[in-house]
Amino acid sequence: MKVEEIMTTGLKTAKVDTSVKDAANIMCLNNISGLPVVDDDDNIIGIVSEKDVLKKMFPDMSDLAREEGVTNFEDMEKGYADALGLKVGDIMSSTVSSVAYDMPIMKAATLMCARQIRRIPVTNGKKLVGIVSIGDVHKAIFQQSLAV
């Protein structure tokens, strides 16, 4: 079975100039934890996740050292508004693992497990064409086993 047979299409995406607030809104309203970042030709150039947004609220290590390891976690929450004012390009991960649409699903699952990621963009060349998750692979194999 190939990735294209089980991938999700019609994805929500972001651009580098999308505001983090708009990206967070899309993630929250659609109950998704991240968005592929694409250029004007739908080539994947990054990923922005809830984790990327929240990491912008963390103090850096030098701040922690000055505070002698004492962090006011309630004050950290106030940094969320600052994170929302940024652009996706400011916080996205530009190193992106992806799989080809014609890859066998177990090869894709192996890659996701090795990299400890639950979902991965699917590409045709550099163009984003879908996303596949470990859950998608498991469901497909389970359904296939029932048909035997």
- How far apart CA 63 and CA 80 sit, in angstroms, is 17
pLDDT of residue 54: 85
- Write down the pTM of the prediction: 0.83
What domain range includes position 122? 3-146
pLDDT of residue 39: 97
**Domain count of the fold of the chain:** 1
pLDDT tens digit sequence for 72-98:
667 667 677 778 889 999 999 999 999
Residue 146 main-chain phi, psi, to 5 deg: -70, -25
User: Which positions of the chain have pLDDT values less than 50?
Assistant: none
pLDDT of residue 15: 98
| Pick from 132, 145, 143, 142: nearest CA to 105 | 132
Find the CATH number of the domain harbouring 56: 3.10.580.10
pLDDT of residue 73: 65
- How far apart CA 103 and CA 87 sit, in angstroms, is 33
